[in-house]
Amino acid sequence: MTQLFTPFRLRDLTVQNRLVVSPMCQYSATDGLANEHHYVHLGRFALGGYGLVMVEATAVVPEGRITHGCLGLWTDAQVAPLARIVDYLHANGAKAGIQIGHAGRKGSSRLPWRGVGTVTPQDMAELGVTPWTTRAPSAIAESDAYAEPAEMTVAEIEALPAAFVAAARRALAAGFDIIEIHAAHGYLINEFLSPIANRRGDAYGGGRENRMRLALAVVERVREVWPAEKPISVRISSVDGHEHGWKIEDSVVLACELKARGVDLIDCSASGFAGSPLKPAPSYLVPLAGRIRQEAGIATMAVGLITTPEAAADAVDSGRADLVAMARQALNDPNFPHHARAALGDGEAWTHWPVQAGYAVKRLQDALMG
């Protein structure tokens, strides 16, 4: 039998199964506030049977948003709408997580369905939005589509962990079970980690130890305020994909350092910088999660085009990951866990549906079987 539907524990948190909804930006907030869209979007995954539902990348400061429509946790007013979502997830059997981060040089971006890059004059006219000056480790633009960022001063860098701490306190007030620090996908912390974006010559640039300094400082400070019984996850880009970029060997070292500072889970994604030659394919990142799990001795979460029940089960049963996260597949099938149970041979899968639906699903199955 697959381990996919067995409980998994991190500190005092136990999830009912190994299936997780990845943080997925909805670009639908105003002033960083969650609304009815977020409530329905996230709530459906609890009904669909996922063990853990992660709220999208949530900015620790206003200029840390990816777009004007991204969520935030920089003010107390943003707590209550998120708490309402957490309560609904809990009431329907799922645990609740939130990812906090800073977009860095990829901030002030266009809504993705309008195009790629920094907010344009057309966006300003049609949406009434105003771009802001982004911050990054070095004054290097992500690509020609993005504005050049301002290089952060040492004082700005040293002030950043406090913003993560304040956001973590608010996440705790909202009732989240697990917090994830976003250090992937070419956003600010990932920009510091990678030589692709970090060309500094001070204590935050140069060798790998210096480039890891900000990530480790953020984790240390968050761990101080995040309760000892609650786990911390860090999402990393396991590899940049670029020849002279961040590599899997770097990720193993980082994972060891994060573990030593109280991190419990590494969410193993990849890439995030323009021009990466990395080609997505089914389950293509699972081996990276396996290597980090084995060599760093820390729990991992596998991601990356895991779209079938068999692939999800294999990631866990092969020992390469403890949890399996999905984003686009979850959008495509919010009931994936229920369908996966049936596909993997659980003849009573209908009993795991919400009570309001399970009996009807059973009747549908009986009718189809004649």
SS3 33: strand
Please spell the DSSP secondary structure of 292-355, one letter per residue: HHHHH--EEEE-SS--SHHHHHHHHHTTS-SEEEESHHHHH-TTHHHHHHHHTT-TTGGGGS-H
Query: Where in the sequence numbering do the catalytic residues fall?
Result: 187
Residue with tokens 């399970």: 358
pLDDT (0 to 100) of residue 1: 82
Counting Cβ atoms within 10 Å, is residue 82 exposed (0-12), middle (13-18) or buried (19+)?
A: buried
Each residue's pLDDT tens digit, 261-290? 999 999 999 999 999 999 999 999 999 999
pLDDT (0 to 100) of residue 19: 98
With contact defined as beta carbons under 8 Å apart, do 53 and 40 qualify? Answer: no
DSSP annotation of 175 reads T
Residue ranges and CATH numbers for the domains of the chain are 8-334 (3.20.20.70)
Sequence-distant (≥ 6) Cβ neighbours of residue 236 within 8 angstroms: 183, 184, 190, 193, 251, 254, 255, 266, 267, 268, 269
* HSE toward the beta carbon, residue 152, CA cutoff 13 A: 28
Q: Tens-digit pLDDT profile for the chain (370 aa)? A: 899 999 999 999 999 999 999 999 999 999 999 999 999 999 999 999 999 999 999 999 999 999 999 999 999 999 999 999 999 999 999 999 999 999 999 999 999 999 999 999 999 999 999 999 999 999 999 999 999 999 999 999 999 999 999 999 999 999 999 999 999 999 999 999 999 999 999 999 999 999 999 999 999 999 999 999 999 999 999 999 998 999 999 999 999 999 999 999 999 999 999 999 999 999 999 999 999 999 999 999 999 999 999 999 999 999 999 999 999 999 999 999 999 999 999 999 999 999 999 999 999 999 998 7
Cα–Cα nearest to 42, from 58, 31, 19, 26: 26
